[in-house]
Amino acid sequence: MKQVLLLLIAFISSEAIAQPATPVIRKGFLFGAALGAANATMNFPARSQNQTDLAINWKIGYMVRPRLALVLNGAVSMYDYTGTGRTRKRDFGGIFPSAQYWLSGNLWVLGGVGLGTDAPVFYDIQPDQVAETQYHLGAGLISSVGYEMYRKKNFTLDLQLRLNYNRVKLPEGKTHGFNTGLLLGFNFY
Question: pLDDT tens digits for 103-159?
Answer: 998 999 999 999 999 988 888 777 777 777 888 999 999 999 999 999 988 899 999
**Whole-angstrom Cα Rg for the chain:** 18
pLDDT, residue 88, reads: 85
What mean pLDDT do residues 26-45 have?
94
* Strand residues in the chain grouped as ranges (E): 28-43, 48-65, 68-81, 88-102, 107-120, 136-152, 155-170, 173-188
Reply yes or no on whether the pLDDT at 11 is more than 70. Answer: no
pLDDT, residue 128, reads: 76
Fold of 2-188: Porin (2.40.160)
Q: Is the dihedral of CA 138, 139, 141, 142 positive or negative?
A: positive
From 9-13, 97-101, 160-164, the region with the lowest mean pLDDT: 9-13
85 confidence band (pLDDT: 50, 70, 90) = confident
pLDDT, residue 7, reads: 52
Question: Percent of the chain scored above 70 by pLDDT?
Answer: 87
**Domain range list for the chain:** 2-188
26 confidence band (pLDDT: 50, 70, 90) = confident
pTM, two decimals, is 0.82
CA 170 → CA 89, 90, 151, 175, 176, distances in Å? 15, 12, 42, 7, 10
Reply yes or no on whether the pLDDT at 41 is more than 80. Answer: yes
By C-alpha distance, which of 66, 95, 91 is closest to 76? Answer: 91
